[in-house]
Structure 1
Amino acid sequence: MKVMRSVALGVAAAFALIITSFVVPHAASAHGVTMFPGSRTFLCWQDGLRENGAIQPYNPACAAAVAQSGTTPLYNWFAVLRSDAAGRTVGYIPDGQLCSGGTGGPYDFSAYNAVRNDWPKTHLTSGANIQIRHSNWAHHPGTFDLYITKNGWNPNGPLGWGDLEKFAEVTDPPQSGAPGGLGYYYWNTTLPAGKSGDHILYIHWKRSDSNENFFSCSDVVFDGGNGEVTGVGPGGSSPGPTPTPTDEETPPPADGDCTATFRATDNGWAGHFQGEVTVTNTGDATINGWTVSWTYSGGQGFDGAPWNATLTGQPPNVVAKNASYNGQLAPNASTTFGFNATGSVPSPVPTLTCTSS
């Protein structure tokens, strides 16, 4: 198999994956939690990961979880699992421990059961059709059961099985990207109607070839959103999706002091391509940081982390921020960042939005 490489691989991602290779449990052969809408462990990992590979959360709930149980669980954000679950729910995972999958897994995720209102949140619209993305850190067949908290549930109390109602399931969905990185299973689902305010989306993945199961808590708020994430990174928010253009080139934004353009640089490996984004300061003063966002509509993803940028929002709603060394741009100056991607080259190319600080 041809593997695309870049000498400019991001330091944080490379360091984090090296660490992960040492701390992944060898007894468990499959892993995965929900990446969109992001689970607590996945979004806290994103929130805290720094360019040198350290995890130092900005989000207060994520910081409290790290203070309680350390960073090892976040380096293994994909491993909220029980090897002997065999599809069991009530009577197996105790109420109040649903987000950690109980206490019998390889890592201590109990801190992620904490009842707080400041976990990272994904903003959604009740009744909308969205694409669920669930990590395929290791690939195995199985069924995903999707639950949502009932209307009238108490968000200020521990989450119990009685608070949840099942609304969908899917068996053996397709994958984007290879196992062992940021690849994922994906499928479309219609969110329940009649929801408003804060809720928890809960996904229980049941392998069909073993008794191993996986558990994911994703904090969502039904407020008319379209996948925006808040509570991640120093600014605490990520922009939502932008419209898709109808031509073959990225149109510039109507105003603002930076622009971003997208191009595919290599599509020689079937099901993968390499992309590059150029950011230009179009204003009259130096900018000290930039954020680029876009929306994929064809199931594209990332095969590893980008270089020369840091991801704070995952597909389909991509958000990339400058690295520590390329955020400052003089007027008319440009910088680029790149990435290895899964899926086909998007056509038409997505609209990119650039904001500066």
Structure 2
Amino acid sequence: MTARRWIALAAAGVTGVLIAVLVNVISPTAASAHGAMMKPGSRTFLCWRDGLSPQGNIVPQNPGCAAAVSAGGDNALYNWFGVLRSDGAGRTRGFIPDGKLCSGGNPTYSGFDLARNDYPLTHLTSGANFAWAYNAWAAHPGTFHLYITKDSWSPTRALAWDDLESTPFASIKDPARVGQVGTVDGQYNWNATLPSGKSGRHLVYSVWTRSDSQETFYNCSDVVFDGGNGEVTGVGGGGGGPTTTTTTTTGQNPPGDAHCMAIYKITSAWQGGFQGEVEVMNHSATAYNGWTARWTYADGQTVNSVWNGVRSGSGAEVVVKNVDWNRTIPPEGSVNFGFAVSYSGTNSLPTVTCTSP
């Protein structure tokens, strides 16, 4: 399993070897928006749901999902909302090569370019009005363009640009957003009519272009036009996974402006302990000059050490402030700090918030 897990849970009974970690100075890095089509579900989203277990491991049971992970690695599922190109600038044909549309030409997601007919499938009705949902893990303005495959396309052939109808069947600018960013419940929602005259297997191809940066997202959603109303088949494993998650929450700074995001990750675990990391992200238009992240443990976890941050608070309350070298976070930038924790029994995930002065 990759160490960089966005959705990671430590469970009692997990064993491993604690590897010494060199403490490095962490400099600000570019912070991305995050999101993926949820209705109809993209390949990465539905395969994440298919494989997610109560212990936080992601082991897909669906054969298409398992093949994608085998070919490209499981990091694509721990980061199911990151099928993007930071240099995309809304480009499509001539930028993303044929056969690599579902990964957006991003090597992390190359397994999802595999031509297969057994990915999870959303059942739809041609010409019907449909309630679309796109995850807003990190919210930004932009436009969603929706394409559909031609009748000549086959799921046994990797998607090429000539397999898509030449123009989008719908384009939606800055749709309404509901729920809390940094969670699965944070979503863009809109209604749009599905293409008429379609039957059988198809792909819905979505391109989300941010209007405040060059970042562009590319998603493939496997659908079948058979009179359905959004039902999903082919998702099993650990009960289809949860519909919500609390690994990430946003703080508010100033009140009412939720632009500081804190992402809590468990990077390695062993019997009775784990190592974690929090990424503090600035999604505002101005630089941060200092920051604070805080959470409260519910199961008696004890923080033994913190690096690249200074801890205050006591007991179950954890408050971590910046050190001198990582106090500044530019707009759309981020910094990380790490920590080591011991615990016994259960190890539920905390809700993390962040603020800047």
CA contact (8 A) 2:144 2:208 kept: yes
CA contact (8 A) 1:230 1:237 kept: no
The letter of the residue matching 2:140 is H
TM-score normalised over the length of structure 2 = 0.58
**Which of the pair has more CA radius of gyration?**
2
Alignment partner, residue 222 of structure 2: 219
How far, CA to CA, are the matches of 1:86 and 1:16 in structure 2? 25
Q: Root-mean-square deviation (CA), in Å? A: 2.4
Alignment partner, residue 169 of structure 1: 171
Q: Does 1:205 align with 2:208?
A: yes
Alignment partner, residue 40 of structure 2: 37
Alignment partner, residue 65 of structure 1: 68
How far, CA to CA, are the matches of 2:238 and 2:200 in structure 1? 22
SS in 2 for 1:158: coil
Deviations 1:105-146 (A, max 9, x none): xx6100000000000000000001011100101111000000
Distance 1:213 1:153, change over 3 A: same
Q: Does 1:125 align with 2:125?
A: yes
CA apart distance, 1:69: 2.4
CA contact (8 A) 2:147 2:169 kept: yes
TM-score normalised over the length of structure 1 = 0.58
Give the structure, 1 or 2, with the largest relative contact order (CA under 8 Å, sep 6 or more).
2
CA contact (8 A) 2:37 2:219 kept: yes
Q: Which runs of 4+ in 1 moved over 6 A?
A: 235-238
How far, CA to CA, are the matches of 2:231 and 2:29 in structure 1? 35
How far, CA to CA, are the matches of 1:164 and 1:233 in structure 2? 29
How far, CA to CA, are the matches of 2:38 and 2:145 in structure 1? 15
CA apart distance, 1:26: 5.1
Aligned sequence identity (%): 61
How far, CA to CA, are the matches of 1:128 and 1:51 in structure 2? 36
How far, CA to CA, are the matches of 1:58 and 1:217 in structure 2? 19
Q: Does 1:93 align with 2:96?
A: yes
CA contact (8 A) 2:73 2:111 kept: no
Alignment partner, residue 311 of structure 1: none
CA contact (8 A) 1:230 1:236 kept: no
The letter of the residue matching 1:59 is N
CA contact (8 A) 1:59 1:236 kept: no
CA contact (8 A) 1:231 1:237 kept: no
Structure 2 unmatched runs, 5+: 11-27, 242-255, 257-357
Structure 1 unmatched runs, 5+: 1-14, 239-269, 271-357
CA contact (8 A) 1:131 1:186 kept: yes
User: Quick one: which of 8, 17, 25 aligns to 2:7?
Assistant: 17
Alignment partner, residue 179 of structure 1: 181
How far, CA to CA, are the matches of 2:69 and 2:105 in structure 1? 18
Distance 1:143 1:19, change over 3 A: farther
